[in-house]
Amino acid sequence: MSKTRPNESDASDLSMHPLLLSVNVDHIATLRQARGTTYPEPAAAAALAEEAGAHGITVHLRSDRRHIQDDDVRRLATSTIGKLNLEMAATEEMLEIATQLRPHQVTLVPERPEEVTTEGGLDLVEGQEHIRAAAERLTAEGIAVSVFLDPDPRQVEALGSFRPSLVPGFEINTDAYTRAVDHMVDIEINKIIAVATQGAAAGFRVFAGHGLTTSNVGRIAAVPELEELNIGHWIVCRASLVGMPQSVQEMLAAMRAGRD
């Protein structure tokens, strides 16, 4: 089947501003690694997600290789039609891999071996020299750089010392919002709105993700500064019941409903 690269017009029905969906297929690899089989393949899931309307694909190559493997990234680097976003720690090993495989974008994340999933954003206030060095290396290879930050205005202020030509965008960690209950939901969404406004005003592109589901994505989709959401666990879980195309379409519909 011939495929066309998704473009801005695909996203234009999502709102006055396009809001793109990057589907994280890490947990397709989790299923495969659980049994040491060759299936299911993240690249096959990614193709189905893109066919269903996803605008890009995200994978996190962890240093412990618990789910995504180097070969998965290699395959996705040639098969992904939209943007391939590689999440990774700013280590020498990962920088070597990224500069060889040249995804469209790298999102730099902190990584702790014992964590179940990424537990928080980078700390640019405490130290940013190794992030700056990594961003310079990636940018020199033509790879766009994003950094994963908690919705903390001090982190976005620290990001301001990077030029948008070096780090064009950042991803807001939505984890606390997705876990919040009662009055904390408003508190957490307001933090996200504040840093999205702050970051966009400083000239950065603003992305968001972590823990998003069709039930909680609406208020995030309503934040007009946001350009792209990175969503994995929910989409893969739902895909295990109804298939990847329907799962992606349900998420796109929930995003559209929140944006309208």
Active-site annotation, residues: 60, 87, 210
- In the complex, the smallest distance separating the C-beta of residue 121 from ligand PXP, rounded to whole angstroms, is 8
**Closer of 60 and 259 to ligand PXP (Cβ):** 60
CB of 141 to ligand PXP, least distance (A): 21
Which residues are registered as beta bridge partners of 205?
A: 169
56 binds ligand PXP (CB under 6 A): no
Of 61-69, 127-135, 190-198, 210-218, the window that binds ligand PXP (rule: CB under 6 A) is 210-218
Give dist(CA 171, CA 208) in Å, integer. Answer: 5
* Residue 233 lies near ligand PXP (rule: CB under 6 A): yes
Listed ranges 32-40, 195-203, 217-225, 228-236: which one lies at the site for ligand PXP (CB under 6 A): 228-236
20/212 with CB nearer ligand PXP: 212
Regarding 24 and contact with ligand PXP (CB under 6 A), the answer is: yes
Per-residue binder mask for ligand PXP (CB under 6 A), 98-127, x = binder: ---------x-x-------xx---------
CA atoms within 13 A on the CB side of 159: 35
Residue with tokens 């519909």: 253
* Contact between residue 28 and residue 72 where contact means Cβ atoms under 8 Å apart: no
CA proximity to 72, closest of 98, 43, 112: 43
Pick one of 14, 25, 26, 217: the residue that binds ligand PXP (CB under 6 A): 26
Q: Can you list the alpha helix ranges (DSSP code H) found in 83-152?
A: 92-101, 129-140
Q: Where are the beta strands (DSSP E) in 52-150?
A: 56-60, 83-88, 105-108, 144-149
Q: Which of 210, 217, 220, 244 binds ligand PXP (CB under 6 A)?
A: 210
Strand 226-231 relative to strand 20-24, pairing: parallel
Q: Distance (Å, rounded) from C-alpha 17 to C-alpha 3?
A: 24
- Kindly list the residues in this chain that would bind ligand PXP in the complex (CB under 6 A): 24, 26, 60, 87, 107, 109, 117-118, 148, 171, 209-212, 230-234
